[in-house]
Structure 1
């Protein structure tokens, strides 16, 4: 059974901040739509994973560091959508349902610069990964889950390739979102059996200009 970010096995893991700097992924040769920042070790691992891909295929990062305020806004909006679909649900149940897709701010890896949303691109643009990035479970009939059976053989092969290179570089996937990979956050600590996360929320003084 999938462990969600709202699970106490995740929320009780402490984050002991290392103070590692943020870096611009463009400076590490990673394809991005615009300027995207992550912790230095995350950038190093993405650059390594990129070298593992076959010729003509590259990683493409859509989002890295996310402001805390934006994370809260995304969570609140999705929780409101879930509440409309599940009227009468308790606050706890809505929190669990929402965290399938959007991390609660207190454990969110994007606000720590520890996570990226990414895909694969080739000579002719994005490869088929089964759904668009950020397709919700409701919109995609669950096809956004990494191991979803209701995707094409090509999409399954491309997801396997994505996983092979990112896992080899030390990143972990949040299994309800094929595109979400992280290093150094609480979910990484849980999967890797570490006593603590090594990154907490990025402070304003750490935010790049």
Structure 2
């Protein structure tokens, strides 16, 4: 694996508050089913991917309520939430292998430069599966959630890129000034999701339109708060 740099938010110290993981009430939300990483074989163990810290779940319900006021019968769709470090490692490796295959290459025949370039693309989106308690992957804290929207007809809203897309289309403001015919619609959908999540107290990953967090290092860094209250969970 390539070398990597720590993220800016890793400078934020963690004062773990000890709040428990709780199940997300899936009847309140739409759900990606079967779970996209579980069906690939990701090792979640005894906890399902539909868990978050208790306060994060409460905030997510608030965001759903705000969405209902703006778009009756629309729902937030949960793509992924709690992710053990083992799952993070599984998905990083899977993403690398997929990127190699999509480029028409073979892992066994990659040059060091090709390998470095592909790992750099992977880590643009994926957090490093670090076991260092000071640099936990956001999802491994139970404080981050990947989401999209479902409209009143039950259809997933088009956001202009799939979740986990390794291209620049993942950047939240990619379509802001685009001349692509449907760009403004995509941007409006992303902005609606951002607005309801921000109102509930979340922050959005600057690189991913779908990733929101509350109480972890990224959230504290984006809010200019000196400490985070959620660190890596050990289960």
> What range is the shorter-chain TM-score in?
0.7 to 0.9
Shift of 1:168: 0.8
Distance 1:28 1:20 in 2: 23
Gapped runs of 5+ residues in structure 2?
34-47, 104-109, 131-135
Contact 2:121/2:166 (<8 A) preserved = no
Q: Deviations over 1:123-152 (max 9, x none)?
A: 221111111222221xxxx11111112562
Q: Which residue of 1 aligns with 2:39?
A: none
Q: Which residue of 1 aligns with 2:193?
A: 162
Q: Which residue of 2 aligns with 1:134?
A: 164
Shift of 1:193: 1.1
Whether 1:183 aligns to 2:223 is: no
Gapped runs of 5+ residues in structure 1?
205-209
Shift of 1:31: 2.8
Q: Which residue of 1 aligns with 2:170?
A: 144
Where do residues 1-209 of structure 1 align in structure 2 (5 Å cutoff)? Answer: 6-26=5-25, 29-33=28-32, 36-53=50-67, 54-79=71-96, 88-89=112-113, 97-106=121-130, 107-124=136-153, 125-137=155-167, 142-149=168-175, 150=178, 152-204=183-235
Contact 1:25/1:32 (<8 A) preserved = no
Distance 2:164 2:232 in 1: 22
Contact 1:48/1:169 (<8 A) preserved = yes
Shift of 1:41: 1.1
The structure with the largest alpha-carbon Rg is 2
Q: Deviations over 1:43-91 (max 9, x none)?
A: 1111001111121211111110012101012223445667897954499
1:18–1:96 distance in 2 versus 1, CA, 3 Å: farther
RMSD over aligned CA atoms reads 2.7
- What's the TM-score once normalised by structure 1's chain length? 0.81
